[in-house]
Amino acid sequence: MTEMVYGSAPIRDVEPVLPKWWRTIDKWSISCVLILFGIGLLLGFAASPPLAEKNGFAPFHYVQRQTFFGGMAMIAMFATSMMGPMLVRRLAVIGFLIALVALMLLPFLGTDFGKGAVRWYSLGFASVQPSEFLKPGFVVAAAWMMAASREIGGPPGLSWSFILTMIIVAFLALQPDFGQAALIMFAWGVMYFVAGAPILLLAAMAALVVLGGSFAYSNSQHFARRIDGFLSPDVDPTTQLGFATNAIQEGGFFGVGVGEGTVKWSLPDAHTDFIIAVAAEEYGLVLVLIVIALYATVVVRSLMRLMRERDPFIRLAGTGLACIFGVQAMINMGVAVRLLPAKGMTLPFVSYGGSSLIAGGIAVGMLFAFTRSRPQGEIGDILRGRAR
């Protein structure tokens, strides 16, 4: 009688946070990320001493910094993966707005560190790259807009997300950072496709990318120089691509031996953008294939879990995060083997870099939070029910 008058009390989830997290998390994927970080530290011992010697630091100065930033990234990843999807969404949108303001202020307050692109804020003891933190927040914000547009009487979220994408791409192109701009557009395109975008619209987007690339080639010497170097039939052996290509060829199947590589003494970015060249030279194709398998495992397992997800927002956001994680790794390794033009993009959890490590930890933590097992009917059950 009491329940009839006052209603039944809500059932509270009394399971402790850590046991529940361990029971619902994808243990294979999180293990792959930890192994990738371990490989990054291993390669840091090989790649960073030459740069430390050049800059007057202790031999393992950059390894110590990578360990510190990597530790922060792991803490961020574990903490974020324990959150619920709605809390992740709230924090991601707030972080996205902060990163967007920071991106807009880069032309006035940022620095290029002599690399020709204003992408960083110098803090003296470290540097911050806003675009790294912008990516996961953008994916979540865009997924929220797209999911809201599917509700009855919902806002025009698809149009809003497209306008937001174009604004971000414009500010990234001003740096210039065409690699991150392309990654943002790719993430939006993947989510839009999953949300049910017509093929003609995606074709129009591809045409827009081609036109934008042509415009950038004609008006940006930085962009044109990289494209010309990529299209040239001959590789200048004194360039970064030349050194990386030679190192990969020298490594062969099993590598030249631990510490025996020479590319780390020639490449200024051996510990960041071209870390895979160090891996290929010293450890050979075997380690490279292991790294590729680790990235593929995280992406494939995440997408398989998301295929069973009923919530449109979680499905879209998780798909976007999984795809940019895998595509960024593919771009970095593709540049090293000259399948793609130079992009200046790090290899997630393997390359040195404070911003990329911490932002990567947050992004993957969001992905793991979205792919945790939840009590729900599978999407296939719903579709079969509608068919009946």
Extract long-range pairs of 254-261: CB within 8 Å, 24+ residues apart: 254/283, 254/284, 254/285, 254/286, 255/280, 255/281, 255/282, 255/283, 255/284, 255/286, 255/287, 256/281, 256/282, 257/282, 258/46, 258/282, 258/283, 259/46, 261/46
Has residue 98 been placed in a domain? yes
Dist. CA 301–CA 295, nearest whole Å: 10
User: Could you tell me if residue 359 is inside a domain?
Assistant: yes
Torsion-angle region of 372 (φ positive above 0: left; ψ -120 to 50: alpha; else: beta)? beta
Please report whether residue 382 resides in a domain: no
- List, for the chain, all residue ranges whose pLDDT scores fall below the cut of 70: 1-14, 220-223, 225-226, 228-238, 376-388
In a domain, 4, yes or no: no
Distance of CA 376 to the CA centre of its chain: 29
Distance between CA atoms of residues 360 and 328, nearest Å: 11
Number of structural domains found in the chain: 1
Per the structure, the complete domain to which residue 196 belongs is given by 16-372
Res 106: pLDDT: 92
Residue 3 lies in a domain: no
Q: Is residue 379 part of a domain?
A: no
* Domain-located, residue 55: yes
pTM of the model as a whole = 0.88
| 107 assigned to some structural domain | yes
- pLDDT score at 46: 85
